[in-house]
Amino acid sequence: MTLRFSVLASGSTGNAFYIETEREKLLVDAGLSGKQMDRLFAGIDIDPRQLSGILVTHEHSDHIKGLGILARKYQLPIYANEKTWKAMEKSIGKISIDQKFYFHMEEVKTFGDMDVASFGVSHDAVAPMFYTFHHQGKKVALVTDLGYVSDRIKKTVEGADAYIFEANHDVGMLRMGKYPWNVKRRILGDSGHISNEDCGLALADIIDNNTQRIYLAHLSLDNNMRDLARMSVDQVLQERGIAIDLLDTYHDKPTPLFEVS
């Protein structure tokens, strides 16, 4: 078996990402309630008791809501950087010392037959970081919750076989929408979220002939639509002469397990 993964849930109401090899099963974030997390795992026929651990990207509630519950229920180790641990400890409840592990930013950690590399992003959390996953020459990149895509990030994630990439909002919908201006300014800022167009521009720089799939992730329920996101990102890619299928993610149901071949 090579890498297989599912976007269990994606969006401001909760985020969770599952990835596995023959020997390892990892969850990234647990941003929904314990019951909802169990339902999502049932949707892809995975028993959460088999998980090797949970990696955390940052302390925002849509990424850690069910983290403590899930870790205590199934006795799972949690991996996060030191600043994120400090920021989220009061929110996730008591975690046994033997379940607490550090995963430093810009570190590569080996889980059985899978290497996981962390990298920092610009977002309004204390020390947000995301991950690339490597197994038998295959690479999957998880990139959401960032205000802009730096050249450093592009270099880190370029040439992946599959991307889960943020297309948070349509700028026009956001500007005309109901959010207060201070919230709009935060989303549009360098520590907020990236738009459909910025997603397309970044993808145009990083994908190559290896890239098999791109999942558009963390779409705003208020300021975006799946059809609009796909159309906007695709338009940018086509202007660069790139034709590739773009796939949806959902805030309330998992994507089918996809095997990176």
Q: Would residue 22 count as lying in a domain?
A: yes
Q: Would residue 260 count as lying in a domain?
A: no
Domain coverage including residue 93: 4-251
Give me 50's structure tokens.
């088999």
Phi and psi at 112, nearest 5°, equal 60, -115
Q: What is the total residue count of the chain? A: 261
Q: Structural domain tally of the chain?
A: 1
Q: Would residue 42 count as lying in a domain?
A: yes
Cβ neighbour number for residue 47 with a 10 Å cutoff = 11
Q: Would residue 259 count as lying in a domain?
A: no
Q: Would residue 226 count as lying in a domain?
A: yes
Q: Would residue 257 count as lying in a domain?
A: no
The per-residue pLDDT for 137 is 95
The per-residue pLDDT for 261 is 84
Q: Beginning with the edge strand found earlier in the chain, give each strand of the sheet holding 25-28 in spatial order.
A: 100-102, 78-80, 53-55, 25-28, 16-20, 4-9, 258-259
The per-residue pLDDT for 211 is 95
State the amino acid at position 86 in one-letter form: K
Q: Residue-wise pLDDT tens for the chain (261 aa)? A: 689 999 999 999 999 999 999 999 999 999 999 999 999 999 999 999 999 999 999 999 999 999 999 999 999 999 999 999 999 999 999 999 999 999 999 999 999 999 999 999 999 999 999 999 999 999 999 999 999 999 999 999 999 999 999 999 999 999 999 999 999 999 999 999 999 999 999 999 999 999 999 999 999 999 999 999 999 999 999 999 999 999 999 999 999 999 998
Residues 81 and 84: their CA atoms lie apart, in Å, by 5
Tokens 């940052």 belong to: 58
Q: Would residue 159 count as lying in a domain?
A: yes
Residues 241 and 236: their CA atoms lie apart, in Å, by 9
The CATH number of whichever domain residue 171 belongs to comes to: 3.60.15.10
